[in-house]
Structures are given as C-alpha cells and as structure tokens.
C-alpha cells in the first residue's frame, strides 16, 4: 500500500457531525457540491472519498478534515 491509496480513508464521524448540525444528506451534499447518492455511499463506507471531497465536506460542516476521520463517536 502506498500513501496515495484511498481504500483506507474512511470518515467514521461524518454522519454524527452531520446529524448534530441537523443536516440531512441532501442538504450536506448540496453544500459540499456532491450528489446525495455519493454522500450516502461515503457515509456507509462503500465509496472512498478523494482528499478534495473530504475537504469539501469539512468546509461545508465547518470542521477540520481530521475531525471527520477520528474514531467514531460511539467508540
């Protein structure tokens, strides 16, 4: 595996942060410039996000990219 592999990038805290901000998937997807389907797959861990997508999501949520990648809040 190289440092460029994206198959290890998961965003375990994305859903919890989105829900805490009272946003549904459609609203966050629109703010981040994504499709709701893509956001759904990212939250489910089915689709691995590009670095640029992580930045867009973090900006839309007003958090740092690292905040999305920390351990899930229920862990």
Predicted confidence at residue 73, as pLDDT, reads 65
DSSP state of 17: H
* CA-CA-CA-CA torsion sign (12, 13, 19, 23): negative
Give the predicted TM-score (pTM) of the model.
Answer: 0.83
What's the token pair of residue 21? 């901000």
What's the token pair of residue 41? 């797959």
Q: Rounded CA gap, 39 and 28, in Å?
A: 8
- Which parts of the chain have pLDDT scores under 70? 1-9, 73-75
Q: Do residues 62 and 3 make contact, with C-beta atoms less than 8 angstroms apart? A: no
Predicted confidence at residue 70, as pLDDT, reads 73
Architecture category of domain 14-65 in CATH: Orthogonal Bundle (1.10)
């Amino acid at each position: 595996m190289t440092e460029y592999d994206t198959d290890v990038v998961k965003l375990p805290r994305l859903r919890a942060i989105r829900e805490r901000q009272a946003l549904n998937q459609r609203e966050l997807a629109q703010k981040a410039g994504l499709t709701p389907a893509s956001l759904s797959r990212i939250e489910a861990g089915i689709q691995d996000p590009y670095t640029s997508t992580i930045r867009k999501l973090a900006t839309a949520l007003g958090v740092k990219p690292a905040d999305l990648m920390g351990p899930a809040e229920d862990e």
